[in-house]
Amino acid sequence: MPKLTSDQFTKRLSRQTEKEADRLAETVYTPDMRMEGQSLIRMLQSFMWNEFYFGMYPPAKQMNRLYELNDGDVTADIDIVVELANMARDELKHAKLFSNRIEELGGEPDLRKYEPTDEQVEMFHTVYDHENPVLLAACQQVGIERFVPKLFQALVDNDVVDDRTKEVLHSADLDEPNHLNVGRKILLRYATNEEIQQRVMEVNRAACKSMYDLYGVEYERNADELKESIA
């Protein structure tokens, strides 16, 4: 891999992930598709679980790991820490938005009663089990979270869901640019050498693949595309 500044690297990684998010959203939600009744409830329950688990656990761990990385200097990276705390707050709110909509539809709105699928649990481990806050950002904010606005938008644009659910998706989407930004900020500050950039690429790829697995779509990160994206 040629030498890249963290800025160049972060931009290219973001583009790569965005492309993959677009491809998945186009594949899974099409204009002929409608979701209502139990299938809608089930989808919203899985969204509620994702918002909570992927929205709360990774930023909490990133805050802890940054503290350790900074040898207990509580002032270091405080800009990032504040944004991570904001993110966790937002995601808790998003989980609640979905819970409320599930209740309106007559489904079980309690997160604790939802049983995640094997693929969700698998994706959780793929994202969360890293110790390094930079790798966590590669998987979460710059990885799977990049897919969320694309998937929500595809549900809306293709009229897959009713108007009230569209409003909820819109509300749950408004804070997402801030979450992407905190991920970018972590990479800009810390993905400064080839070794960490290589690791970031690897774990980002695994996270994106787990998102495809969640939807049962075959994942492929084209080697040429990758070359083009990092060249």
Q: Is 179 in the site for Fe ion (CB under 5 A)?
A: yes
Q: Tell me the HSE value of 217 on the side-chain side, using a 13 A CA sphere.
A: 17
Other Cβ atoms less than 10 A from the Cβ of 69: the count is 16
Q: Is 101 in the site for Fe ion (CB under 5 A)?
A: no
Q: Which residue's CB is nearer to Fe ion, number 12 or number 179?
A: 179
- 98/47 Cα distance (integer angstroms): 7
Contacts (CB under 5 A) with Fe ion, residues 46-65: 51
Q: Which amino acid is at 24?
A: L
As measured in angstroms, the least distance from the Cβ of 194 to Fe ion is 29
Q: Which residue's CB is nearer to Fe ion, number 76 or number 85?
A: 85
Q: Which residue's CB is nearer to Fe ion, number 83 or number 176?
A: 176
Other Cβ atoms less than 10 A from the Cβ of 94: the count is 25
Contacts (CB under 5 A) with Fe ion, residues 109-168: none
- Is the sign of the CA dihedral 68, 121, 109, 152 positive or negative? positive
Q: Is 205 in the site for Fe ion (CB under 5 A)?
A: no
Name 178's Cβ contacts closer than 8 Å, sequence gap at least 6.
83, 86, 87, 90
As measured in angstroms, the least distance from the Cβ of 12 to Fe ion is 22
Q: Is 94 in the site for Fe ion (CB under 5 A)?
A: yes
As measured in angstroms, the least distance from the Cβ of 179 to Fe ion is 4
Q: Which residue's CB is nearer to Fe ion, number 77 or number 90?
A: 90
Q: Is 184 in the site for Fe ion (CB under 5 A)?
A: no
- Are 187 and 13 spatial neighbours (Cβ–Cβ below 8 Å)? yes
Site residues (CB under 5 A) for Fe ion?
A: 51, 91, 94, 176, 179
